[in-house]
Amino acid sequence: MSGWNEGAVAQTHPLIAQPSHDELVEQLFIRDLKLHVMQTLEPAQKKLAGAIVAQTETSAAPSNDPVGDLRGKMEALDSFRTWLTVKRESQRQLWAAVGDSVERQADQLEALADLPTPLGSVTLDAAFDVPAYIDRGDIHLMPGGNAHDDGSILQGAVMDRGGAVYMLGRNGGMLNDLRGQTAMAHLLTVYPEIEPKRILDMGSGIGTSTVPAAIAFPDAEVHGADVGASMLRYAHARAEHLGARVLFSQQNVEKTNFPDGHFDVVFSCVVLHETSQAAMANILAESHRLLRPGGVAIHLEVPLIHNFGDLWEELSSELEAQFNNEPNWRGALSADYGALMEASGFTDVKVGYQSTAFQARSGPLVFKDTSDGVFRSWFVTSGRA
């Protein structure tokens, strides 16, 4: 079995939960199972779906519900049901395994998070109103969901270690930070003259993408806002361990408490697909409100932008939303970002793929129309206020 960082430098930080030998074996097993599901079982299902679609096209009258028809035929196949079951179960096992490991070392993690002289801060809102799309189901099947709070940092600790396993260790190892590095690389690629004094990460989670902003722009005041108190406490401690000064706050990024024009740069990383159609428009509008004239918004999403008319893709999107609790998967992957950004008041809107950067400043600083594939580039839309 191979390890996490094949050939790469160790990428980690002191606060991340450390698995015992057996826990590590279990986490690596789950990672390899997920790889098997993605790289072997899923392409086989795609091939079967292609054969069914081809046969239907030659033998049947056009259908009013081609995706539903394909789903019905696929559901009759044992291999399809097995693929779907293993996919969902591997995801559930991931959180269960990481959750047990975090719980075992809860006291040590809390002690590590108790920092007497922090550089940054965390501001929580005891009366916070969690948006319905966050509360409705446990996103990605993480028990308790993003807003879960028991007064500890532990939900954040689960999200951190679990997120790195979820990304198969391929998004910056245990730092899981390549989205943030890539968003900042986009800024340096397309808007190189910008010298931001204030930056906001909208939907900052545990700060995996916020810390790269603070490191790329050490003189800027960097903020992160999210809905989850446990995640934010953890994000604060994590950023401190990485030597980054970040001001975290518990806020709905559809409508924050920052004044108009407060920021030079606002960005989000893989947030929009976890919201709703209405929230997505609100977040883009809020990102415009928060920018000073000429400021830049960058919204980075998963690199799987939807290909309408491809029935397998349509069915896969439906299954991802239904079985992995992704509330706005299809909405975010099929949105017309150019139109949405312009409707929010942005000019000079860019839509394309930013090559994955390992360090924002060392790049690669490449932005283009085509995707290099998952983990190699990210879908990005950006514009000026």
Q: Residues interacting with ligand SAM, by CB under 6 A? A: 131, 134, 146, 179, 203-205, 208-209, 225-228, 231, 252-254, 269-271, 274-275, 279
The residues facing 383 across adjacent strands are 297
Question: What's the closest the beta carbon of residue 205 comes to ligand SAM, in angstroms?
Answer: 3
Question: What's the closest the beta carbon of residue 254 comes to ligand SAM, in angstroms?
Answer: 5
Question: What's the closest the beta carbon of residue 70 comes to ligand SAM, in angstroms?
Answer: 28
Instruction: Please say which residue, 157 or 225, places its beta carbon nearer to ligand SAM.
Output: 225
In order of 80, 224, 284, 302, 376, the CA distances from 253 in angstroms are: 38, 10, 9, 19, 28
Instruction: Please say which residue, 44 or 278, places its beta carbon nearer to ligand SAM.
Output: 278
Question: What's the closest the beta carbon of residue 274 comes to ligand SAM, in angstroms?
Answer: 5
Positions of E strands within the chain: 121-123, 198-202, 221-226, 246-250, 263-269, 291-301, 347-355, 367-368, 377-384
Sign of CA dihedral 330, 332, 337, 339: positive
Instruction: Please say which residue, 27 or 275, places its beta carbon nearer to ligand SAM.
Output: 275
Instruction: Please say which residue, 231 or 265, places its beta carbon nearer to ligand SAM.
Output: 231
Judged by DSSP in three states, 348 sits in strand
Q: Are 126 and 138 in contact (CB under 8 A)?
A: no
CA–CA dist 224, 147 (Å, integer): 15
Helices (H) and strands (E) in the chain, counts: 14, 9
Instruction: Please say which residue, 45 or 131, places its beta carbon nearer to ligand SAM.
Output: 131
Phi, psi (deg, nearest 5) at residue 108: -65, -40
Question: What's the closest the beta carbon of residue 228 comes to ligand SAM, in angstroms?
Answer: 5
Question: What's the closest the beta carbon of residue 249 comes to ligand SAM, in angstroms?
Answer: 10
In the structure encoding, which two tokens stand for residue 193, read together? 């003259």
In order of 20, 37, 154, 238, 356, the CA distances from 89 in angstroms are: 22, 11, 22, 29, 29
Question: What's the closest the beta carbon of residue 179 comes to ligand SAM, in angstroms?
Answer: 5
Long-range contacts of 308-315 (CB under 8 A, 24+ apart): 308/334, 311/49, 311/53, 311/66, 311/67, 311/70, 312/46, 312/49, 312/50, 312/53, 312/70, 314/67, 315/49, 315/67, 315/70, 315/71, 315/74
DSSP 8-state assignment for residue 376: T
Instruction: Please say which residue, 189 or 287, places its beta carbon nearer to ligand SAM.
Output: 287
Angle at 302 between CA 37 and CA 355, to 5 degrees: 110
Instruction: Please say which residue, 26 or 274, places its beta carbon nearer to ligand SAM.
Output: 274
Question: What's the closest the beta carbon of residue 293 comes to ligand SAM, in angstroms?
Answer: 25
Q: Are 175 and 11 in contact (CB under 8 A)?
A: yes
Instruction: Please say which residue, 274 or 314, places its beta carbon nearer to ligand SAM.
Output: 274
Instruction: Please say which residue, 209 or 354, places its beta carbon nearer to ligand SAM.
Output: 209
Question: What's the closest the beta carbon of residue 1 comes to ligand SAM, in angstroms?
Answer: 26
Instruction: Please say which residue, 149 or 274, places its beta carbon nearer to ligand SAM.
Output: 274
Question: Per-residue DSSP letters for 267-308?
Answer: EEES-GGGS-HHHHHHHHHHHHHTEEEEEEEEEEE-S----T
Question: What's the closest the beta carbon of residue 5 comes to ligand SAM, in angstroms?
Answer: 19
CA–CA dist 74, 377 (Å, integer): 31
